[in-house]
Amino acid sequence: MKVPLEKPAAAPPSLGRVIADFGGLYAANALVAFVFAASGPVAIILAVGTRGGLTESDLASWIFGAFFVNGLVSIAFCWLYRQPLVFFWTIPGAVLVGPALGHLSFREVIGAYLACGVLMLLLGLSGWVKRFMDAIPMPIVMGMVAGVFLRFGLDLVFAIRDAFWIAAPMTAVFLALSALPRIARVLPPVIGALIVGMLMIAVIGGFDARGAQVLAIVRPNLYPPEFSWQAMLELVVPLAITVLVVQNGQGIAVLRAVDHQPPINAIATACGVGAILSGMVGGVSTCLTGPVNAIITASGEKHRHYTAGIMVGVLALVFGLLSPVFTRLLLAAPHAFVAALAGLAMLRVLQTAFSISFRGRFTLGALVTFLVTVADVPVLNVGAPFWGLVFGIAVSWLLERADFAAPVG
């Protein structure tokens, strides 16, 4: 059977060609994009992992998989396709894992990571990705996403209440930069909030660096997976949906908006391979990132964007190798700092999730999905996000059947 993977439009560039295509503008875009990925999103990993009882070693290994493994995938795909194809990890998927760690072991979660990777790999190699993406109504998926992300918005409010002089200035700067688009293109709001938060910690104290290492190379943990039907039902399908429908859909839309032609089947295949490799060391599933690719394609010549993607990948390799250092530094910061940074990073995503869920078709199904997910009541030891999707689709099928007859706008 012929494998329907898209072929590159041209031969991969030589090292000399890559150097010639590179430049200061692309280096600056890559640096901003990487700092964005290494700030708020990493805070989300730490917030999820610490709430789920993971150790510092577990978190460092997770971050290694998220950056080093996906950095390798990103470099390979940017070079092979001469497009800005940067892969990181699924933030919605990481958030899904949080409640699951309350009743599943980490080895069971890793078994679900590997199964999800195999599923995405098969879908990519089969060419059925588009059918899979079209099969699940986006408003219902985003209802689930809004439900799992809501906790981060609430944690931001609690952080302002509990540590006003850290969280409030971070929030104020985030809002101010968001209101000034020209400045925000140079200094993204999340990065501004990170800088202000660090300054406030330096002024009022609260940073506990005892035991921190000045320099440490990661020794990633290799976890033996455990396969349980509870973990398979609860995590595999929601993870695959968030990667292929939500995250990859966003990343593909971003690239198409600037006239790139991302290879959909090859991207899904890469996500499958990345999810399997990063899952072995505790990392959540790989996806094509939307925000990072948006930043590196915001300016410059289209045929040179891929060089910024390669640089992001190289920076990710370094960050992954030094993950114990960055993990310890973030864990040494006050809890409110991490909670506020994670909440601010999720704010726009939460807004988008609500907007898509309740703006048109499938609104009742999306509402049911949201409520079931927020209630966080497991059934048969399977977590609420899975049941949110099941009940939401069932309600829409019964009461909003006309919405299935036309594409969702």
88 confidence band (pLDDT: 50, 70, 90) = very high
Query: 140-179, pLDDT tens digit by residue?
Result: 888 887 887 788 789 899 999 999 999 999 999 999 998 9
CA distances from 94 to 19, 64, 283, 299 (A): 35, 15, 9, 30
pLDDT at 210 over 60: no
For residues 76 and 96, which has the higher predicted lDDT (pLDDT)?
76
pTM: 0.76
Query: 300-316, pLDDT tens digit by residue?
Result: 899 999 999 999 999 99
pLDDT at 262 over 60: yes
Burial-class residue 161 by CB neighbours within 10 Å (0-12, 13-18, 19+). Answer: exposed
What value does the mean pLDDT take over residues 364-372?
A: 94
Query: 16-37, pLDDT tens digit by residue?
Result: 999 999 988 888 788 878 877 8
Question: What was the pLDDT predicted at 32?
Answer: 74
Query: 293-304, pLDDT tens digit by residue?
Result: 887 887 789 999
Query: What is the rounded end-to-end Cα distance, in angstroms, of the chain?
Result: 35
Could you give the 3-state DSSP secondary structure of residue 70? helix
Share of residues in the chain with pLDDT > 90 (%): 40
- Please list, in sequence order, all residues whose beta carbon lies within 8 angstroms of the beta carbon of residue 349, skipping any fewer than 6 positions away: 91, 92, 145, 149
